[in-house]
Structure 1
């Protein structure tokens, strides 16, 4: 069926200002999603669209990767882990968790480590054991870790030695067990080194546990408008849908280029997303489904990325727009044509429109650009913009996957017609079921099965463009920074009378965190001192890069809400008029963008 379609492929326009043929795009979707097709879609009894075929749980998904055997899965430095080695190690650890520790399906297992191969072994061991994986942000402070651990109450923590000091006290008080990776020496009671465990048996199967599609698979923490983290809970069926979404997008891309999906060698992807970030799952699932290889980086460095791309024959790049821009700049400086690269995939933050223009100017149309839209609550990307469509519409987040429905909602939740701006609502297989132990937040975010994203968007000809955010949030290099959380930290300083935190444009990171702080009369506190105060309580990427100290009242409307739009324009004006002092840490390209 697919080969018959390829006899009359859609050929992308050579003029990037022209859109692809809508009829050809409709034919592609029809051939992939019709009855009996690889991505056939049905409507579930409870409402959302779901894939009719494919895995229903993450255990089903990962078990198929065993067939890739000796193909390389993870490359970290000089170390290469094949699919067979990975699956044997994950199965062995899963049996350790169930047989030795006595853990049962539904119990939580927290993960906190950098992008080591063992992160993937640990995550998939949790899935094979029927536990609920809770990936934690390794950039968090001890206090931030503590809040999440108190909330999810894990019975086991899978951590590297670097993160152990930040979680040890909370874990011990909760009576949790520890498996510690990458280190040596004495450990607290209830902990053991992963390196001391028995060698995995390649012939041994994972433990026999019952896992149902409706069972919880992951809890990934995000933050809401209250500034307190919320655990977004995805079922196995939701994560299975998330695993199929990038496969569909890859197939649609291949057909658009006149190629039968699945032909050619497996992709080799340079993975720069930290594994705890939901954007990483989209690239991870795509690689695992095709027997692809992930090349890992301990921290982001554009020059090192160029070296790895050349050494390992990397075909696809995956990272936030900030790192992609730095990669293109480094390649241009080095005269590196990135000859082996076939795809440049960005996510985690809105890509500046000039990214695809720079890519095309430097490399023509040989490297396919791809970006999209996804949230923790959607378990990864659910809108995608790639190839000629991306070049024609660089401001768009793309089109939805077959199991994702889009509504542009008005003030009363009514569906608005194409061309009108409203709140973006989403419904589909990969959406989370709600927030962990937070019925109020769940009820506020979900309406009749629809998730209210808090983003303002518009739909034209099936393409979604996100035009603004309702939620008070800054996305710095792919990391969400919630303004109220930073404002709370500033208000905790005894010399602060009022504070407003907002995002300001940054050419590489997309946005930087800025703060306007009104200090008490007679205060001599400096901007740098305020930054240091925030840094003692919050992760480094949340610390304002620019702080303006003023003695003037902050602008507010009649209801008392700070008018941040005025502050954005006033930041530079205040500095010129000498009404305050603007201090910051400078551009700091790449700071805080390490991969794990």
Structure 2
């Protein structure tokens, strides 16, 4: 391990890979991902894996990663795999996945990161999820951690895919004389499945050129500095974790300190402990819910400054879901005493189909808001014949397009809209995906002339992009559009609720009319109190939509999540309509 520890390592935890070394910085200006690792391996930076308490358990320098990956590439070729074959890998945060991913890269194969189990659904749901993704990606080999053998072997058997544990691959023979293929920039580097992939998953095919273009734009957009170091708990099966917190640090020669996602879920404040104890940490990312849960875990008796030091945190990235300004303010309120600066927040917008980043807020600008009147969001006329007070929603500025990325806002008929008019978000750039793997119909449905229809709604203002929601989530009632986030946020204002407790969507009523339905986690046991709570929720939703909704109280931790932790409204709706989500009893 001594070869990965720098002479002057004051900005890194004891025994960890260096924050600073003598390697000249290159901002992802490589032709292929393998070249990026080849260069990073000449320095002393790398990946560092920590246990649930944040104690360093393994320093894994880029030089060691490269050695293991080259050996793994020759093992894969020795198993009979050929360039262009897919290798599915369960994306557990650890050196085995990192080496397996780059082994596939060096062998000219396409790595396919697959998710870990979630708490929702149990064994059969996870095996089915793996089976569906194996069906879509059609891999020649499926690699997994031994503790998940029961799940992964079952999924492999269903699709007749050869399944092998990390340990079995490591025991395979290595022919050191075996020549490795030379990747070209236009070759596919990997397949990325979006976090919402369920019954009909879409594997995003990303080329080396597209990836490196986005990684360079990411490094430039964040103004990467010599002393930067990253802390992450984000899963590697999601694009923000894989690209933003694994491949981007590597291509920009940054050291990273990792907590496993499941360890963060059990002890969220361990994330901030790791930031505090690590003297070099300047960059760390999270969706809104990560900041939310940390702010909520702070007790009134504990002062943040007594436990944390967040003063060096330069970039607190936020993306992967709608950014909640109230949550960001709550985080500032909870941790300002520990040195956290609101200006560190870096809102962003991205999606797997664009490799990762579409826009970033320039560092130091923090959270900036615009208030948008409800009629603009809903598409209704400003004066709809009703004498009602105006309602506004605060929309978070998601920054400027990253280098090489173009953004247009288009109407339903394809016309380009001017500033501050809401429409469909379209993007174009060198980092846009090659297409969905073996799905020309889905590719053609969202890509036209090099432009990608993101499926998101938003508007531009003075060169900045503002995202207001997903087009497919919109609830349309009596010709008016309602965003589920507005309904959910309104319910969250009632005492006892938090982000992620509510899912809003549309269902068809008995007379064939559309009506809003709201599923709400309920922690109240008294039946009469539940009844009163349901009535309060109905009144809140009626105030937003003008229509009496269906409100169902359900047990806590029932609402489904995507693999990246986002609420899945589509799955919640399907589970509710199929009877798999069962409402709680209330007083008659």
Normalising by structure 1, we get a TM-score of 0.67
Q: Does the C-alpha gap of structure 1 residues 153 and 473 become closer, same or farther in structure 2, counting only changes over 3 Å?
A: farther
Match of 1:64 in 2: 39
User: Alpha-carbon deviations, 1:467-497, whole Å to 9, x = none?
Assistant: 12212389xxxxxxxxxxxxxxxxxxxxxxx
1:92 to 49, 65, 71: 71
5 Å-filtered alignment, 1:439-450, equals 439-450=440-451
Cα distance in 1 for residues equivalent to 2:154 and 2:560? 32
1:209 to 163, 169, 181: 181
Cα distance in 2 for residues equivalent to 1:71 and 1:276? 23
Contact 2:127 2:154 in 1 (8 A): no
Contact 2:349 2:359 in 1 (8 A): yes
Match of 1:514 in 2: 503
CA shift, 1:60, in A, is 2.2
CA shift, 1:225, in A, is 10
Q: Report the more deviating stretch, 349-358 or 107-116.
A: 349-358
CA shift, 1:88, in A, is 0.8
Q: Report the more deviating stretch, 277-286 or 71-80.
A: 71-80
5 Å-filtered alignment, 1:148-227, equals 148-172=133-157, 174-181=159-166, 193-194=168-169, 196=171, 207-222=179-194
Match of 1:306 in 2: 272
CA shift, 1:308, in A, is 2.2
5 Å-filtered alignment, 1:154-553, equals 154-172=139-157, 174-181=159-166, 193-194=168-169, 196=171, 207-222=179-194, 228-251=200-223, 262-263=225-226, 265=227, 267-280=228-241, 281-298=243-260, 299=262, 300=264, 301-313=267-279, 314-330=281-297, 333-335=303-305, 336-358=308-330, 360-361=332-333, 362=336, 363=339, 365=341, 368-393=344-369, 395-472=396-473, 504-505=488-489, 510-512=499-501, 514=503, 553=509
Match of 1:7 in 2: none
Match of 1:147 in 2: 132
Contact 2:215 2:248 in 1 (8 A): yes
Unpaired runs of 5+ residues, structure 2, are 1-25, 52-56, 118-124, 370-394, 476-483, 521-533, 543-547, 566-588
Contact 2:292 2:499 in 1 (8 A): no
Normalising by structure 2, we get a TM-score of 0.68
Cα distance in 2 for residues equivalent to 1:429 and 1:206? 34
Cα distance in 2 for residues equivalent to 1:555 and 1:236? 53
Cα distance in 1 for residues equivalent to 2:367 and 2:311? 20
Q: Which has the higher contact order (CA 8 A, sep 6+)?
A: 1
Contact 2:83 2:107 in 1 (8 A): yes
Cα distance in 2 for residues equivalent to 1:167 and 1:213? 32
Alignment partner of 1:110: what SS? strand
Cα distance in 1 for residues equivalent to 2:536 and 2:162? 49
Contact 1:473 1:502 in 2 (8 A): no
5 Å-filtered alignment, 1:31-46, equals none
CA shift, 1:72, in A, is 3.8
Match of 2:79 in 1: 101
Q: Report the more deviating stretch, 318-327 or 361-370.
A: 361-370
Contact 2:367 2:397 in 1 (8 A): no
CA shift, 1:338, in A, is 2.0
Match of 1:55 in 2: 30
User: Alpha-carbon deviations, 1:499-533, whole Å to 9, x = none?
Assistant: x9998346998545637899xxxxxxxxxxxxxxx
CA shift, 1:399, in A, is 0.7
CA shift, 1:57, in A, is 2.1
Unpaired runs of 5+ residues, structure 1, are 1-37, 40-52, 182-191, 252-260, 475-499, 519-551
Contact 1:390 1:398 in 2 (8 A): no
Match of 2:386 in 1: none
Contact 1:113 1:160 in 2 (8 A): no
1:129 lines up with 2:107 in the alignment? yes
Q: Does the C-alpha gap of structure 1 residues 96 and 337 become closer, same or farther in structure 2, counting only changes over 3 Å?
A: same
Match of 1:572 in 2: 537
Cα distance in 2 for residues equivalent to 1:225 and 1:157? 18
Cα distance in 2 for residues equivalent to 1:589 and 1:565? 14
CA shift, 1:248, in A, is 1.3
Cα distance in 1 for residues equivalent to 2:303 and 2:195? 38
Match of 2:579 in 1: none
Q: Does the C-alpha gap of structure 1 residues 282 and 553 become closer, same or farther in structure 2, counting only changes over 3 Å?
A: same
User: Alpha-carbon deviations, 1:281-335, whole Å to 9, x = none?
Assistant: 1232332134322222222122322332233333322222211233345567443
